A = this chain, B = another copy of it.
Amino acid sequence: MRYVVIMAGGSGTRLWPLSRQGRPKQLLELFEGKSLLRLAFERLEGLVDVDRILVCTGRAYADDVRAQLPELPPGNLLGEPEGRDSLGAVAWSSAALQERDPDAVVAMVTADQVITPAEDFRASLRIAFDAAEQVSNSLVTLGVVPTSPHTGYGYLHRAEEVLPGVFRVSEFKEKPSADVARGYVDSGEYWWNAGMFVWRAATLLAQLDRLRPEYAATVREIARHPERLDGLFPTLERISVDYAVMEPASTGDTGAVVLTVPLTVAWSDVGGYLSYAELLPSDDRGNTRSGNTVSLDSSACIVLNMIGPDHVVATLGLEGMLVVATKQATLVARLDDAERVKQLVAKVSEECGVELA
């Protein structure tokens, strides 16, 4: 049977103060009251039944996840006691599903992007499911056909086509320099590593048995004895699935084959305010505004009032500015400085304490 695991564990400071310690990006209701998690969930409609969708998240976010996904069966929420990078999420959830269904084929999808159109996304996932089922010992990754030489993503080098629309991956590349990225894009042979995977649960665990046997034993033990989760999960190494499994497997030396299916969609990781603003409508002076705001002689600004209708954010004579107001914090920055919000958050944490950062 086919399953989908939505990985919703990450955090980040680039959208501070919208995102915070206890409120990561994918849980924020950024799009007409819907969060990225909710959008990721709705994107799966018609692909698998809702009782075969799981969400793997930090336990601290479990209540928020349940509130945003009331349709999700209670047993389908996997709450990590603490984060263990992507391998923790994919290995534990694969082991849990194999325990439930020895023939489980699992798609691991991320929750922190806006992806449109959803039909094209589901079509790629169906091709990836087919490939994972038809090609033994295969690990299938989704590759986004790049639209720019982005230096913030990892790339994968596609080789020969092994099935219609399915290619072998010969190599993974870490985040490249601008020059190298330019070359990748021009060659047409490199795709962004989407961080989404499809495999038989058994195949992933067999690879893990070979590459990190102790890790594999631990996640199997957790899957069989859920009461041991709190004691065992924190003992897992913090490591990414790319580094631990996909990269070694792509050499062909582990008995597996790494495949990729192209994802030709509009893709935004909402990695900062500029990319968020691109997804929202703007007014006739190029301002992107959300919530109760009043603007006089302001242009090319992003103004977000998340405090609510009893508060107004009013701007006068601004150009190219970012203003974000939440209950805990107000951020005012030049938009071309928005990449440095992380530094500012560090200063807030230092001067005001972590509860405001």
Contacts and interface: CB of A to CB of B under 8 A. Distances in A.
A260 to B, nearest CB: 39
A316 B294 contact: no
A355 to B, nearest CB: 8
Given A352-B292, A352-B294, A340 B328 contact: no
A332 B351 CA distance: 23
Contacts of A332: 313-316, 318, 321, 323, 332
Interface in A329-351: 329-334, 336-337, 340-341, 343-344, 347-348, 351
Contacts of A315: 331-333
Binding site secondary structure of chain A: mixed
A317 interface: yes
Interface residues of A, number: 37
A34 interface: no
A162 interface: no
18 contacts: A292-B352, A294-B344, A294-B347, A296-B340, A296-B344, A296-B347, A310-B328, A311-B330, A312-B328, A312-B352, A315-B331, A316-B331, A316-B332, A316-B334, A316-B343, A317-B334, A317-B337, A325-B330
B330 A314 contact: yes
Interface in A279-333: 292, 294, 296-297, 305, 310-318, 321, 323, 325, 327-333
Interface string A179-212: 0000000000000000000000000000000000
A28 interface: no
Nearest to A328: B311
A322 to B, nearest CB: 8
A356 interface: yes
Nearest to A296: B344
Given A17-B314, A313-B329, A316-B340, 12 more contacts: A292-B356, A311-B329, A311-B330, A313-B330, A314-B332, A316-B331, A317-B337, A318-B332, A321-B332, A323-B330, A325-B325, A325-B330
